[in-house]
Chain A
Amino acid sequence: MPAELVEALKRNETSAFERLIAQHGAMLYRVALRLMGQREEAEDVLQEALLKVHQNIHAFDGRAALTTWLYRIVVNAALMRLRAQTRLPEELLDTAAPLFTDEGDHVQEVGEWALPPERVLLRQEALSMLQQGIERLPDLYRAVYVLAEIEGLPYREIAAILDLSVGTVKTRLHRARLFLRAMLAGYFAEGKGPSS
């Protein structure tokens, strides 16, 4: 039970922190890994986040769900580290957006994507390319993308975690997807990718 776990954490019981890692460690690790891109950095972020949990659990009043609170701590720890790194400027996301004529039609023909499901190695390659794309996203776009696409959280919860409006969450997710789609297009599109 989350309430029972919170009370045990407040009593600083070692077993409670072990339970916390057993129950929520995978989700916290996934978020840290996808935000940071490197396993070592993800581990450092997790250490910082757990330390924050230890220091601030007394202030946790249960108004938000424990998982929402944990997500917020790990995302903030990751964003603090990411601020020191150079990322793609936000306006460059628009260069990956599809182009339209004045009439609003596609300028170029859109290629059909093809990747037979049995080609597991190629799928791994595509996933690795996707991860590279995620790492190029501006920080807040990446945070929205990771929480929405990888964690599958509802927009409302993501908005609460990142202190954004639901509309901003949706816009950022859509733009992040368009950017990643454009990055993957050369790989999947007919006649260009290794699947052809």
Chain B
Amino acid sequence: MTAWAWLAGRFRTWFVKIEARFRHPGQRPGMRHCRYVVELIMSYLDDTLDPVERLAFEAHIADCRNCWRFLGSYRATVALGQQLRDEDIPSDVRERLESFLRNRLQRPP
């Protein structure tokens, strides 16, 4: 992580915490344990956490180096899996399938 990214992350943490204190007085952001944060990662990436949970999640992530890294590695795993989407059907496989179907369709029922 570059120094700028780290600094930006720290500013974001402060803003998230301050915003959460004003919006949800009495509730502490960043209260989640790492275990709970790991359970919520998928919902966080799917953007299905409610606003309070999202703030708490982000506050924890910004404060916890392990969870910050865990989120990064989880995201990388997802991104790597999505790279397998590029596979196309090879032309020889396509030709064999077409030939297979032609033979089957020409057979009497």
Contact = CB atoms under 8 A, between A and B. Distances in A.
Interface of A: 12, 14, 17-18, 21, 25-26, 28-30, 33-34, 39, 43, 46-47, 50-51, 54, 98, 100, 103-106, 109-113, 115, 123, 126-127, 130-131, 145, 149-152, 170, 173-174, 177-178, 180-181, 184-185, 188-189
Contacts of B4: none
Given A150-B85, A184-B77, A185-B73, A54 B38 contact: no
Contact of A112 (B72, B74, B87, B105): B72
A109 B72 contact: no
Interface of B: 1, 33-36, 38, 41-42, 65-67, 69-70, 72-74, 76-78, 80-85, 87-90, 93-94, 96-98, 100-102, 104-105
B73 A181 contact: yes
Q: Which of B76, B94, B98, B101 has the most CB of A within 10 A?
A: B101
A177 B78 contact: yes
A47 B100 contact: yes
Nearest to A53: B101
A150 B42 contact: no
Nearest to A175: B42
Given A106-B66, A113-B76, A184-B77, A21 B82 contact: no
Contacts, number: 133
Contact of B81 (A25, A130, A178): A130
30 contacts: A18-B101, A21-B89, A21-B94, A26-B87, A30-B87, A34-B87, A46-B97, A98-B70, A100-B34, A100-B35, A100-B38, A104-B33, A104-B35, A105-B66, A110-B65, A110-B67, A110-B70, A110-B73, A112-B72, A113-B69, A113-B72, A115-B76, A130-B80, A150-B81, A151-B85, A152-B82, A173-B42, A181-B73, A184-B77, A188-B76
Contacts of B93: 29, 39, 43, 46
Given A46-B93, A180-B77, A127 B104 contact: no
A83 to B, nearest CB: 23
A164 to B, nearest CB: 16
A117 B77 CA distance: 14
Contacts of B84: 30, 34, 127, 130-131, 149-150
Contacts of B38: 98, 100, 178
